[in-house]
């Protein structure tokens, strides 16, 4: 089963890789140890993302890019853990399977920031289904109001509702 679980990281510009290398190295090591797929996607270099994800805001573009990537790979990826490029593995003694719903009814899992009850946009676990891909597209196309909004993190709350 592990081989159909993927860790996906999306970087907009390839030259930014060096900024995230320490964190990405920990994730690569973790993925290799547990036999997970690891995908590093450079959004600006990927023609399909440029064509299908026209968002100007890079935060929204990433969620759209993920929806596209999961659609393209729906035969080989059952579950995807999306993480921000600057996130590293601190406790490698936990597997991704521990967070997968055994009844397979839950399609997306976000986490809550303990200090303000906000649903965090920076990492989430998805079952690769039409519903979760549609959710990502809905979220990534959300039109922000002209006031304080917190970009994709604000839009996430509206999308969840
Ligand atoms: C990341 O891993 C690569 C390959 O093992 C290594 O060459 C590189 O120095 C590492 N980078 C950092 C920042 O530790």
Alpha helix ranges (H) inside 13-129: 17-34, 47-52, 58-72
Q: What is the pLDDT of residues 123-133, one digit of tens each?
A: 999 999 999 99
Higher pLDDT, 81 or 161: 81
Domain boundary assignment for the chain: 2-160
What is the Å distance from ligand 1's center to 20 Cα? 11
What is the Å distance from ligand 1's center to 21 Cα? 7
Query: What is the β-pairing status of strands 123-127 and 79-83?
Result: antiparallel
Residue of 21, 26, 29, 40 best suited for mutating to test ligand 1, as the one with most atoms within 8 Å of CB: 21
Ligand 1 close to Cβ of residue 19 (< 6 A): no
Ligand 1 close to Cβ of residue 25 (< 6 A): yes
Tell me the CATH architecture of domain 2-160: Alpha-Beta Complex (3.90)
User: 40, 55 in Cβ contact below 8 A?
Assistant: no
Q: What is the pLDDT of residues 5-45, one digit of tens each?
A: 999 999 999 999 999 999 999 999 999 999 999 999 999 99
Ligand 1 close to Cβ of residue 130 (< 6 A): no
> Rounded to the nearest 10 degrees, how much is the dihedral formed by the CA atoms of 92, 104, 116, 90?
0
Q: Which atom of ligand 1 is nearest to the CA of 22?
A: 13
Q: What is the pLDDT of residue 81?
A: 97
Residue 122 tokens, joined:
């920076």
Q: What is the pLDDT of residue 74?
A: 96
Please, which residues have CB within 8 angstroms of residue 82's CB and are 6 or more apart in sequence?
A: 8, 9, 10, 66, 123, 124, 125, 126
| Cα–Cα distance list, 132 to 7, 37, 105, 135, 145 (Å) | 16, 19, 12, 5, 24
User: 35, 97 in Cβ contact below 8 A?
Assistant: no
Residues of the chain with pLDDT > 90, as a percent, come to: 66
pTM of the model: 0.91
């Amino acid at each position: 089963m592990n081989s159909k679980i993927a860790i996906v990281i999306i970087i907009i510009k390839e030259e930014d890789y060096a900024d995230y290398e320490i964190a990405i190295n920990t994730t690569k090591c973790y993925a290799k140890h547990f036999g997970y797929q690891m995908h590093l996607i450079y959004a600006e270099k990927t023609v399909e993302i440029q064509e299908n994800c026209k968002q100007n805001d890079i935060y929204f573009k990433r969620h759209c890019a993920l929806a596209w990537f999961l659609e393209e790979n729906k035969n080989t990826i059952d579950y995807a853990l999306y993480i921000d490029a600057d996130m590293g593995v601190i406790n490698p003694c936990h597997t991704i399977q521990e967070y997968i719903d055994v009844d397979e009814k839950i399609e997306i899992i976000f986490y809550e920031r303990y200090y303000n009850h906000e649903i965090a946009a920076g990492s989430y676990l998805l079952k690769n289904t039409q519903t979760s891909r549609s959710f990502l597209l809905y979220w990534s196309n959300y039109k922000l109001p002209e006031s304080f909004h917190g970009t994709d993190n604000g839009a996430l709350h509206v999308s969840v509702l």
